[in-house]
Amino acid sequence: MAPEISNASMFLLIFFVLIPISLSYIYALGLSRSIAWSSLRGVVQLVLIGYLLTYLFSLPPVIGISIMLMVMVTVATFHASKKGSGFPYVRSIIFVVIAGVELLVLAMWLGFDMIEFAPDQVIPMSGMVIGNSMVAIGLALERMKHEFNEGKDRIIAALSLGASPKQASQLLIRKIVKAAMIPNVDGLKTIGLVQLPGMMTGLILGGVPPVEAIRYQIVISLSIFTSVSLSAMFITVIFYRFYFNDRWQLVKRKETQES
């Protein structure tokens, strides 16, 4: 069992923040205020979530889990949609994709009897799936804008030769999905060798035998890989179509935030 961290020790964590702030000041990076605000905001958010989870864990599982999953999917949608400015229905589509992937993964967990339908198991594991899906979607949208901007001449040439939008975009779609998946592929290659993953570390600190902690880590790692792959693929396949009009012509997306 991990020792309890005292309030005094928690306060001394300020030195962990002062180090990057000092480096930013010394090298004139202009990040001091951002680092301080992000650190403060993160701490406040975690404290509030701690109290919220304590309350949700006391509710019936269906209610507590549903409320927290809805909050997590909504927040993830809001942040991921910032990368998709200029696309129509961006928030609605991203919400459906993240929620759909989460429900699929949750159904597999429960169907294969990997976890119990309990808040203390479903919520933490779902948070990791939803969070990584959010990052994958953001990467896919950002990469999509770059690829279509850089490869527009090649796409126009393919269209002029009679290719359909799908055929003209096939190579770019592959590159976009691959770029969104690479971080997780590389992470799986070194998992347990370069670093002990967060879930495994938390379970070990909580007193769970390492072999049992590894089982849970394998479940969540492969679940995240699946969710990232599906999220990147769905978003790319859906949103690339908005670069073409009904006459199979390439159109330029405007960088405007969805209202």
Token couple for 22: 């000092």
- What is the value of pTM for the model shown? 0.85
Distances (CA, A) of 125 to 15, 148, 151, 188, 219: 30, 35, 38, 17, 9
CA distance to 141, 151, 172, 248, 250, per residue, from 161 (Å): 27, 16, 18, 12, 14
In angstroms, the Cα distances linking 238 to 70, 122, 158, 176, 189 are 23, 29, 20, 13, 30
User: Domain ranges in the chain?
Assistant: 1-58, 61-243
Q: What is the dihedral of CA 102, 105, 107, 112, to 10 degrees?
A: -160
Write down the pLDDT at residue 258.
42
Q: pLDDT tens digits for 176-222?
A: 988 888 888 888 887 776 666 777 888 887 888 988 889 999 999 99
Q: What integer pLDDT is reported at residue 257 of this predicted model? A: 42
Tell me what pLDDT residue 132 has. 94
Distance, CA of 64 to CA of 79 (rounded, Å): 23
